[in-house]
Amino acid sequence: MRLSLSSRHRSATAGPTAAPPTHERDLPMIRRPLGLVAWLALCFAAAAVGGLAASNAATFYQALSRPGWAPPGSVFGPVWSVLYALMGVAAWQVWKERGWRHARGALTLFLLQLAANALWSWLFFAWRLGAAAFVGAVVLWALVAATLIAFWRLRPWAAGLLVPYLLWVTFACALTLSVWRRNPQLLG
């Protein structure tokens, strides 16, 4: 009886001071780097899906009337490569720390923003739908912001890796709106 009371007391007092569940210590050492490879592969697969839509992006982008603050087309590839790598590492950090079960909401938001990211290229470059691309960019921004907040609650360092992405998507929203308004004949 005394043992039972002690264990009840311990669990009742463990509450908020107890360590959060950690997935990392449960992972075999070999699965940790494989998880990183998987998250990076997923991010670059989304990039490839978007890239299929943007196969003629350089020519199309050059034909568009752009604001003076628009970067040259050659900037986008390197910037997006870095951002996809940061996204993959951020998702891996959350997964490694908490696992799918304890980070399902945050990782689901991450997957949704990844899908919205790939969709934007189709809306803008393949289907040339300016209004839909702008709405898609705004939805992407909201999903990235929600993902950043969700990651912050689980692994602040991972959320920090998403800050450049959120800043770039903020810029992309403004650029999409400006280019769409300047090119109604090309971006329906």
Six token digits for residue 108: 């689901």
- Percentage helix, strand, coil, to 5, in the chain? 80, 0, 20
Residue 165 and residue 83: Cα distance in Å, rounded?
Answer: 6
* Rg (the chain; Cα; Å): 21
SS3 110: helix
Task: Select the CATH number that applies to the domain covering 2-182 from these four: 1.20.1260.100, 3.50.50.60, 3.40.50.300, 3.40.50.720.
Answer: 1.20.1260.100
Question: Domain-by-domain residue ranges, the chain?
Answer: 2-182
Cβ proximity of 180 and 187 under 8 Å = yes
Would you give per-residue pLDDT tens digits along the chain (188 residues)?
A: 444 444 444 444 444 444 455 666 665 666 679 999 999 999 999 999 999 999 999 999 999 999 999 999 999 999 999 999 999 999 999 999 999 999 999 999 999 999 999 999 999 999 999 999 999 999 999 999 999 999 999 999 999 999 999 999 999 999 999 999 999 999 98
Which tokens in the block code for residue 43? 């991010």
Q: Name the residue among 62, 164, 146 with its Cα closest to residue 109.
A: 146
pLDDT of residue 100: 93
Give the amino acid at 185. Q
pLDDT value for 6? 44
For residue 85, which of 44, 113, 49, 45 has the smallest C-alpha distance?
44
Torsion of CA 19, 20, 21, 27, to 10 degrees: -80
CA distance 5 to 7: 6
C-alpha closest to that of 49 among 108, 123, 119? 119
